Copies of this chain bind each other. A is one copy, B any other.
Amino acid sequence: MSKSKIAAVIGGGVIGGGWAARFLLNGWDVQVYDPASDAERKIAEVLANARASLPQLHNNALPAEGELRFCDTIEEAVSGATWIQESVPERLAIKHATFATIQAAVDDTAIIGSSTSGYKPSELQIDASKPAQILVAHPFNPVYLLPLVEVVPSPQNDEDTIERAKSILSGVGMKPLRVRKEIDAHIADRFLEAVWREALWLVKDGVATTEEIDDAIRYGFGLRWGQMGLFETYRVAGGEAGMAHFIAQFGPCLQWPWTKLMDVPELTDELVQTIADQSDEQSGMHSIRELERIRDDNLVGMMQALKQRDWGAGALLNAHDKTLHSENN
């Protein structure tokens, strides 16, 4: 057994809690700093969800669960940590202050990953004492189940740090996707942003309710995207002529004057209320806890199906199983 691995989780909301669960269930000790009074309860609930779902994805036993410790200060939380995950609110001043406190206390070899969904690493690194130590490691909810983590370096990060970051994230069962150039919102959230904007228009204009929009996704292209992405799906859709045929057929649509696609709808109180009401109508019969369990159970089932086929997220899980097997023996 190698010596214990320690991760620090700074900020323990839905995302920070998911990170804590991901590391704990993969055998890391986790030290949490979150000033919120209900942080312990919230993380315990996320951890319960993770314990009920993640082990089902593996044929081999996960390592013995690490130890979870709540700390009163950032300094205490980062003590001895080789990975520090920052998941504080999305305000640059708060992030900078957090990094300053972290960097005053950690080893130079520790890596600080930020869960930011919007900021570029070079923005996070501004005024940092050791900018090369900070990069973006942007996960997806639920962090303990979904494999993707976008690893976004700036030119200030050296290759060794980036490779070590990818290796640590792979080690806890994730799929680190290195983003070649830093841009606002990285890759996945640019898509989510584009879809979100369009969805707001559809609700605002009374074209569809939140439930109808969800159905338009989950009975159709959502299923496709769970296993192939956009381009591979379209490659197949192009038929025997493949990608070139598809682009020739679909590409010109982009020139159509769908002006609504280009604007940002104003997020008025009325629109927010409409969405909240429609969402209550759609999902209000389930508590958030119930929805979390339904979601997790569905994700487990879909990923188990992909495991059987050794494809996509399933292939990643199979590879991780092999690692677990060799570590267990």
Complex Cα–Cα for A230 and B209 (A): 12
Which of A66-74, A77-85, A179-187 forms part of the interface with chain B?
A179-187
Contact B192 A221, beta carbon cutoff 8 Å: yes
Complex Cα–Cα for A275 and B305 (A): 30
Contact B228 A226, beta carbon cutoff 8 Å: no
Contact A243 B305, beta carbon cutoff 8 Å: no
Interface size class for chain A? 35 or more
Interface residues of A in 257-287 (CB under 8 A from B): 258, 261-265, 267, 272, 275-276, 278-280, 282-283
Copy number in this complex?
2
Complex Cα–Cα for A141 and B224 (A): 9
Contact B213 A229, beta carbon cutoff 8 Å: yes
Contact A198 B206, beta carbon cutoff 8 Å: no
Partner of A206, one of B180, B196, B264, B291: B180
Q: Which residues of B contact A279 (CB under 8 A)?
A: 231-232, 235, 242-243
23 contacts between A and B (CB under 8 A): A140-B221, A146-B220, A179-B212, A180-B206, A183-B205, A185-B258, A195-B230, A199-B231, A214-B228, A218-B227, A223-B299, A226-B298, A228-B295, A232-B279, A235-B283, A236-B295, A240-B288, A247-B275, A247-B276, A254-B267, A294-B309, A301-B306, A304-B305
Interface residues of A (CB under 8 A from B): 13-14, 42, 90, 118, 140-141, 146-148, 150, 175, 177, 179-181, 183-185, 187-188, 190-200, 202, 205-208, 210-233, 235-240, 242-244, 247, 249-256, 258, 261-265, 267, 272, 275-276, 278-280, 282-283, 288, 291-292, 294-295, 297-299, 301-306, 308-309, 311-313, 316
